[in-house]
Amino acid sequence: MLRYFIEFSYNGKNYFGYQIQPKDISVQEELERALSTILQEKIKTTGAGRTDTGVHAKKMFAHFETNQVLNNQLTHKLNSFLPSDISIKRIFEVKDDFHARFDATFRTYEYYISLEKNSFTQDSAWQHWRKPLDINKMNEACKILFEYEDFTSFAKLHTDNKTNLCKMYKAEWEQNGTELKFTVSANRFLRNMVRAIVGTMVEVGSGKIQPEDVRKVIEDKNRSSAGTSAPAHALYLVDVGYKFD
Amino acid sequence: MLRYFIEFSYNGKNYFGYQIQPKDISVQEELERALSTILQEKIKTTGAGRTDTGVHAKKMFAHFETNQVLNNQLTHKLNSFLPSDISIKRIFEVKDDFHARFDATFRTYEYYISLEKNSFTQDSAWQHWRKPLDINKMNEACKILFEYEDFTSFAKLHTDNKTNLCKMYKAEWEQNGTELKFTVSANRFLRNMVRAIVGTMVEVGSGKIQPEDVRKVIEDKNRSSAGTSAPAHALYLVDVGYKFD
């Protein structure tokens, strides 16, 4: 069997998350249907991870196997077959044990907040213009994240994760005009973790808690200590790291 | 009476154009309802122009009159009252005969085309990735526009315009990565004109007609000589020029 990687993006608005489910529509289901139809054999994919309902991906990977030799025309055929909210970037062969999930060395997410009412980013950024946010305090709080590895406080309860340990590589807010962008990178993320971190950061930015309070939030190892999850529609998976050679 | 200008933007996706209509929902109707409710008097507005069903505006102006002295808090109140797809930028007093439509010296539109399937610009750019476009030829065709003033060929039939004369100030395609942006500026535009120009330009870019053929299209003074209208969802009114002093 040949193993292929597929790089793609999707607008998560109309999906109940990335991962295939018995009832609700998912990105993975659409992807496997397209691959199976065009290749005329049953194709199963393994994704780099999963994203929740409504969350987007600008760069996502999955792997699949087939005996067929594939070329780049498949990208165009898949894009024609798939709905407009899933776009294939490229398909390329990898070593036959290279794994989209286990060989990923990091994941990077971005979260967008609009500080001004913006009618063009309603579906892509959190419209947070009613109250100001102090980005400096939010960045102070970011620094505290690097002192910890156990992020139980930011994890959804009752998941099947064996550990709640993550290595944080980057966590930073940047302001561009009236838009805030949060970039966060780690070896792995727990379910709901980025949105829980953003929700907590926004509590810091709006003065509800102080940057130093984030220390206690993390040490509590209790989801209810952290802030409410930020809305899903403003969260993007933007990169997954691999060493292909 | 005091006369005020209001600067705002809107996402046209859910509206049957800017101008108020008996049956269908319009941006102007929402705007007048918000102003009338908050100011507690019947407010009528006069817009800088009108945009068609589905067309957006990043910068639009209207004027209205009231005896109330208004301040900037009204902007925030209106933004809270209005739906998320209409955003007020500012409200400021002007001379009592300054007119949003008649005192506008130019209008500028932008039109976006994606040359690659892009799941994040489905609602904001024309997804034109199945066939390549030659931007150089499209820009050659742009130059021909400046030789003419009668744009009957790009005007919707049976409108109440007295003349079809326009002074073209700018018409240019720019490529940024896989995105094309067309910027067009003129003293006035006829109904449907930008989308008819874009549709014709895309026929040039895809090789269906040659740049020089645009000359004949214009000289025919016949709408059926021009290309099919480009989709509305990728068109933005981006500026209206005034000399406020």
The per-residue pLDDT for A218 is 96
The per-residue pLDDT for B72 is 83
Residues of A in contact with B116 (CB under 8 A): 87
Residues of A in contact with B10 (CB under 8 A): 119
Residue A226 reports pLDDT greater than 70: yes
Domains: count for chain B: 2
Computed over every residue of chain B, the mean pLDDT equals 95
Residue A99 lies in a domain: no
Q: Which of B180, B170, B233 is nearest to B202 (CA)?
A: B180
The per-residue pLDDT for B158 is 64
pLDDT bin (cut points 50, 70, 90) of residue B156 is confident
Range with the poorest average pLDDT among A179-183, A234-238, B71-75:
B71-75
The per-residue pLDDT for A160 is 67
Residue A205: DSSP 8-state: H
Do both B83 and B10 map to the same domain? yes
Closest chain A C-alpha to B118 CA, distance in angstroms? 6
How much is the ipTM here?
Answer: 0.91
The CATH code of the domain that includes B81 is 3.30.70.580
Interchain contact, A85 vs B129, CB within 8 Å: no
Residues of B in contact with A130 (CB under 8 A): 80
Residue B10 reports pLDDT greater than 80: yes
Cα separation, A218 vs A192, whole angstroms = 15
Interchain contact, B120 vs A86, CB within 8 Å: no
Residue A28 reports pLDDT greater than 80: yes
Residue B70 reports pLDDT greater than 80: yes
Strand runs (DSSP E) across B146-234, as ranges? 168-176, 179-186
Cα separation, B245 vs B239, whole angstroms = 18
- Backbone CA torsion sign across B87, B90, B93, B99: negative
Interchain contact, B85 vs A119, CB within 8 Å: yes
Domain span at B137: 106-241
Interchain contact, B119 vs A79, CB within 8 Å: no
Do both B163 and B119 map to the same domain? yes
Torsion angle, alpha carbons of A93, A99, A100, A106, to 10: -120
Residue B99 lies in a domain: no
Residues of B in contact with A116 (CB under 8 A): 87
Supply B122's token pair. Answer: 């489905």
Do both A86 and A42 map to the same domain? yes
Closest chain B C-alpha to A9 CA, distance in angstroms? 7
Interchain contact, A118 vs B87, CB within 8 Å: yes
- CA of A212: how far to CAs of A207, B12, B138, in Å? 12, 44, 57
Q: Count A/B contacts: CB-CB distance under 8 Å.
A: 49
Do both B111 and B78 map to the same domain? no
The last residue of one of the domains, among A94, A114, A137, is: A94
User: From the list A80, A87, A129, which residue is nearest B119 (CB)?
Assistant: A87
What average pLDDT does range B147-157 have in this prediction? 91
Do both A227 and A110 map to the same domain? yes
By C-alpha distance, the chain A residue nearest B127 is: A84
CA angle (B77, A173, A199) in 5-degree steps:
65
Cα separation, A114 vs A98, whole angstroms = 39
CA angle (B134, B59, B106) in 5-degree steps:
70
Do both B158 and B66 map to the same domain? no
Cα separation, A55 vs A14, whole angstroms = 10
Do both B70 and B123 map to the same domain? no
The per-residue pLDDT for B163 is 87
Residue A185 reports pLDDT greater than 90: yes
Judging by beta carbons within 10 Å of its beta carbon (0-12, 13-18, 19+), is residue A68 exposed, middle or buried? Answer: middle
Cα separation, A180 vs A173, whole angstroms = 7
Residue B44 lies in a domain: yes
pLDDT tens-digit readout, B206-215? 999 999 999 9
pLDDT bin (cut points 50, 70, 90) of residue B169 is very high
Q: Which of A52, A97, A134, A160 is catalytic?
A: A52
Q: Which of A52, A223, A232 is nearest to A151 (CA)?
A: A223
Do both A126 and A236 map to the same domain? yes
Q: Which of B7, B2, B9, B12 is nearest to B234 (CA)?
A: B12
By C-alpha distance, the chain B residue nearest A117 is: B87
Interface test with B, best of A76, A81, A87 (most B CBs within 10 A): A87
Do both A78 and A12 map to the same domain? yes
Q: Is B148 annotated in some ligand binding site?
A: no
Contact between B79 and B87 under an 8 Å Cβ cutoff? The reply is yes
The per-residue pLDDT for A158 is 64
Interchain contact, A124 vs B119, CB within 8 Å: no
Interface test with A, best of B60, B87, B89, B126 (most A CBs within 10 A): B87
For the question of residue B52 being annotated catalytic, the response is yes
The last residue of one of the domains, among B64, B94, B124, is: B94
User: From the list B79, B120, B123, which residue is nearest A117 (CB)?
Assistant: B79
Rg over alpha carbons for chain B, rounded to the nearest Å, is 19
The last residue of one of the domains, among B94, B123, B145, is: B94
Interchain contact, B119 vs A84, CB within 8 Å: yes
- CA of A215: how far to CAs of A22, A80, A88, A139, in Å? 39, 49, 41, 14
Do both B78 and B115 map to the same domain? no
Residue A101 lies in a domain: no
* Residues of chain B that touch chain A, judged by Cβ-Cβ distance less than 8 Å: 9-11, 56, 58, 79-80, 84-88, 116-120, 122-124, 127, 129-130
User: From the list A79, A85, A122, which residue is nearest B122 (CB)?
Assistant: A85
* Phi, psi (degrees; rounded to nearest 5) at A193: -65, -45
Interchain contact, B120 vs A9, CB within 8 Å: yes
Interchain contact, A86 vs B124, CB within 8 Å: no
Interface test with A, best of B84, B88, B117 (most A CBs within 10 A): B117
Residue B160 reports pLDDT greater than 70: no
What average pLDDT does range A176-199 have in this prediction? 96
Closest chain B C-alpha to A76 CA, distance in angstroms? 8
Computed over every residue of chain A, the mean pLDDT equals 95
Closest chain A C-alpha to B147 CA, distance in angstroms? 35
Do both A69 and A21 map to the same domain? yes
The per-residue pLDDT for B244 is 82
Do both B20 and B49 map to the same domain? yes
Supply B101's token pair. Answer: 């439509």
What average pLDDT does range B185-212 have in this prediction? 96
Residue A194 reports pLDDT greater than 70: yes
The CATH code of the domain that includes B215 is 3.30.70.660
SS3 B234: helix
Cβ within 8 Å of residue A132, ≥6 positions away: A115, A206
State in Å, rounded, how far the first CA of chain B is from the last one. Answer: 19
pLDDT tens-digit readout, A60-106? 999 999 999 998 899 999 999 999 999 999 999 999 999 999 999 99
What average pLDDT does range A147-153 have in this prediction? 95
Q: Which of B24, B52, B160, B213 is catalytic?
A: B52
Cβ within 8 Å of residue A34, ≥6 positions away: A78, A81, A82
What average pLDDT does range B52-76 have in this prediction? 96
| DSSP-assigned beta bridge partners for residue A64 | A4, A45
